[in-house]
Amino acid sequence: MGWTCLHTPPHDEKAEIERLVTYENEDRAMRPILTTRKGSVWYVAVEVTCKTEETETYGYTRDSLGRYVFAAVILTRRGGGEWCYKDMEESMGPCEAMAPKKLLDLLSETDREYAVSWRERCRKNAALVSRKVNHGDVVRFEQPLTFGDGIERQTFKVIKERFAGYRRATTCFECVDTGTTCRISRFMQRNWSKV
């Protein structure tokens, strides 16, 4: 599916995302029970209440009350004065797989192959991102990183600084071998260990 664009961006983006997954007809009712955002990607746990026994569950297991929960992934972007979104369901196997563990724990069992694979990737990414580093820690990457100067570096000391006027600390790294200070993109998603 493609992107849907609105000429007027919503005043409350979260409310608009929740409106997109809220639906009711004679067979089922859908409502969001948890909505989270990572960058421009929204992850929503959507509860479906089946109104009849014949209502299709599309591979999800119902609970005793006839409900099941699936994940919706909604990409968003802004440009040219427009707000655009692209909505998907976990069984479509979206590339974006940064849903938090608390959302994954709400989802119903499924036999949909792409959904199972997506959940596994999300759990793996959640485990990587949940690791903590402190100022002064020394980390070593499994694979050396090649920088713009052509030198490969593998072991770094973590430097966390809070600049005046900023709420959060900025994280940068100092190469243990050369003393060069740098930033490392997608640090938490890479494979590394503390030394």
Could you read off the pLDDT of 111-132 as tens digits, one per residue?
A: 999 999 999 999 999 998 889 9
Could you give the count of Cα atoms lying within 13 Å of 111 in the half-sphere of its Cβ? 5
Cβ atoms 80, 100 nearer than 8 A: no
Residue 4's contacts (CB-CB under 8 Å, 6 or more residues apart) are 84, 85, 86, 87
Mean pLDDT, residues 140-169 taken together: 89
Mean pLDDT, residues 19-42 taken together: 96
Task: Please state, in angstroms and rounded to a whole number, the distance separating the CA atoms of residues 141 and 190.
Answer: 8
Q: What is the pLDDT of residue 88?
A: 96
Lowest-confidence segment of 15-19, 74-78, 82-86, 189-193 by average pLDDT: 189-193
Query: Residue 14: enclosing H or E segment and its boundaries?
Result: helix 13-20
Mean pLDDT, residues 21-38 taken together: 96
pLDDT band at 84 (very low <50, low <70, confident <90, very high): very high
Q: Report whether pLDDT(1) > 70.
A: no
- Average pLDDT over the chain reads 93
Q: What is the pLDDT of residue 101?
A: 96
Judging by beta carbons within 10 Å of its beta carbon (0-12, 13-18, 19+), is residue 118 exposed, middle or buried? buried
Mean pLDDT, residues 7-35 taken together: 96
For 88-112, what is each residue's pLDDT tens digit?
A: 999 999 999 999 999 999 999 999 9
Cβ atoms 101, 85 nearer than 8 A: no
- Select from 67, 62, 82, 78 the least CA-distant residue to 7: 82
pLDDT band at 168 (very low <50, low <70, confident <90, very high): confident
What are φ and ψ of residue 102, in 5° steps? -65, -30
Q: Report whether pLDDT(167) > 90.
A: no
Judging by beta carbons within 10 Å of its beta carbon (0-12, 13-18, 19+), is residue 15 exposed, middle or buried? exposed
What are φ and ψ of residue 59, in 5° steps? 90, 0
Could you give the count of Cα atoms lying within 13 Å of 130 in the half-sphere of its Cβ? 11
**What does each C-alpha distance from 145 to 67, 185, 191 come to in angstroms?**
47, 11, 11
Mean pLDDT, residues 128-154 taken together: 91
Mean pLDDT, residues 132-156 taken together: 92
Cβ atoms 39, 108 nearer than 8 A: no
- Select from 96, 187, 88 the least CA-distant residue to 145: 187
pLDDT band at 163 (very low <50, low <70, confident <90, very high): confident
